[in-house]
Every structure is written in structure tokens, then in C-alpha cells.
Amino acid sequence: MRRLNILLVGSLLTVAACGAQAQTAPSKPAAKTAKPSAKRAPAPTAAKPAAEPDGKIARRDPFESLTSRQEAASRVTANLPPGKAGLQVASLRLDGIVKAPNGMIAVVTNPQSRTYFLREGDQLYDGKVDKIALDGVSFHEIGKDAFGKPVERQVNKRIYSSVGEQQ
């Protein structure tokens, strides 16, 4: 029995060693080293199509929109007016709410971590502030759907969002 185990282990090691040698490519002899040349500029990669490791050219996803949402969003954010008028409801994060003598104030930040103080009725880029309560803010957002049809919706942002709720 012991002899059978030794033979089995020995044959497995032999097969594994042969398989490893077959997978490795033979090493090429070292080529003559050329004189070091001046700094070279990196080759432009944008002109060449992306290639996969097997040498095939990668193709675009046929179901992906040709007008990318990210490109459209970057074009819009580049032309936003400064201040409160340039805030987009979807990109705001509600940080706090303050009860002041002259009304409620919502403390929000934009993706660039700039802090803004909003009051009820303030006009934003794509909507306005409807109501500010102690636990959240209600926005009236005005936008367009994929076909260009105007769409209005109510967006509620809460300070302490529940599990699974998007801020």
C-alpha cells in the first residue's frame, strides 16, 4: 500500500513538472544593448483601437447609448451659473437643518464640498426648495426625460436616511 502511494505521488509530480515546462516559453537570448537615446515622447494611445490580450480588437457595446450620460452631465456642469442658482437637486447632500427666527435653513453641500444655506422658495438650477422640515427637505425638481419631454417630480432628502434610501 505504501509503495502504491509513493508511485502515485511520484507520477503526479512528473506530470505536473512536464505540464509546467510545456506552458513556459523558451527564453530568448539577450539581444545586444543599444546606446541609450534621448528621452522619447510617449506614443499616442488615442489613435490606436484598444486591443484585447489575444490580439483581437475590442468592440463597443451595441446597447450603450452613443451620447453618454457622463459626457452630457459634464457639459451641463461646465456651464452652470455660480452660487445657489447652479446647484442641481440630484447632486446635493443634506448636512443639516437649522431653525432660525425667520424660518428654517437647510445646510447642503455639492460634489465639490462647497457648503450652501438654502431657504424655502430658493431657486436652484433644476428646481426649487419647497419645504424644509426638522428631518428633511422637499425639492420640486424640473427636468427632461430621454425624449426631451419635461418631467416634474418631488424629491425628498432626509438628514438621517433609512437603510437602502438614496440621499
How far, in Å, CA of 39 to CA of 5, rounded?
61
What is the set of domains in the chain, with CATH numbers? 83-158 (2.30.30.830)
Q: Give me the residue label for grid cell 457639459.
A: 75
| Total number of residues shown for the chain | 167
**CA 142 to chain CA centroid, nearest Å:** 24
For 146, counting Cβ atoms within 10 Å of its Cβ (0-12 exposed, 13-18 middle, 19+ buried), the class is exposed
pLDDT tens-digit profile of 37-73?
Answer: 555 555 544 445 555 556 677 787 788 777 666 676 6
How far, in Å, CA of 61 to CA of 50, rounded?
13
pLDDT tens-digit profile of 74-109?
Answer: 665 568 888 898 999 989 999 999 999 999 999 999
* Number of other residues whose CB lies within 10 A of the CB of residue 152: 9
